[in-house]
A and B are shown apart, each in its own frame.
Chain A
Amino acid sequence: DVKVTQSSRYLVKRTGEKVFLECVQDMDHENMFWYRQDPGLGLRLIYFSYDVKMKEKGDIPEGYSVSREKKERFSLILESASTNQTSMYLCASSFPISSGVFHSNQPQHFGDGTRLSIL
């Protein structure tokens, strides 16, 4: 079974703090993703990475950055936390398209999520 582990289930931080959310997967997936999920807004992609040290902005990257120094680990950083970043944060990973193996995009597998509150 795919295992995507997020470092914290619940986290409370203060406005202005630098916040690190960690995600580790054990399936040797190249692709990794960070989402936030808010009531009525659905899942929104913040950043994704398709290889070590490679990163791409998603739909709502403002106020966030990411780091991928190792294949299995993808970190989300809130540079200076604000109250509007209170949310459920979800990490996911997937295999890439690979000729001879996968010819279509593969499903993403999610971690348990981190419910982050910024006070």
Chain B
Amino acid sequence: QKEVEQNSGPLSVPEGAIASLNCTYSDRGSQSFFWYRQYSGKSPELIMSIYSNGDKEDGRFTAQLNKASQYVSLLIRDSQPSDSATYLCAVSAGGTSYGKLTFGQGTILTVHP
């Protein structure tokens, strides 16, 4: 069973701090990695994609991938109350997986003023 594990929450950080969200995966053949944000009662929204080792930055968000350690993380700098949501890590195998994703259970992030 291919698994994706996220750090158990909920995670609470003060406004302006860095929020760090972590994810490990079991399938060494995984090639595509995604972070989604989901507000309560809404559907998941893609915020970051990463495909190769290293860091990828997009505004206040940085995704980090280490395939050797089977680890992907999301850093949110200068956290805002509007970042309060559930963050889902999703991992895709390569080859003919038809684009299937394995999702983690999610980490609830609360940014308090």
Which chain A residues have a beta carbon within 8 Å of chain B's beta carbons? 31, 33, 42-43, 45, 48, 50, 56, 58, 90, 94-97, 104-113
Contact = CB atoms under 8 A, between A and B. Distances in A.
Nearest to B97: A105
Interface residues of B, number: 26
Interface string B85-107: 00010101111111111011110
A21 B11 CA distance: 35
Contacts of A95: 99
B46 A31 contact: no
Given A90-B43, A113-B43, A108 B106 contact: no
Nearest to B52: A104
Given A105-B31, A105-B94, A96 B99 contact: yes
Given A42-B104, A42-B105, A94-B99, A107 B46 contact: yes
B99 A108 contact: yes
Contacts of B53: none
B44 A110 contact: yes
B100 A48 contact: yes
B43 A111 contact: yes
B92 A48 contact: no
Contacts of B90: 107-108
Interface in B23-66: 31-32, 34, 42-46, 49, 51
Contact of A48 (B93, B98, B105): B98
Nearest to B98: A50
Contacts of A43: 44, 88, 103
Nearest to A43: B103
A104 B43 contact: no
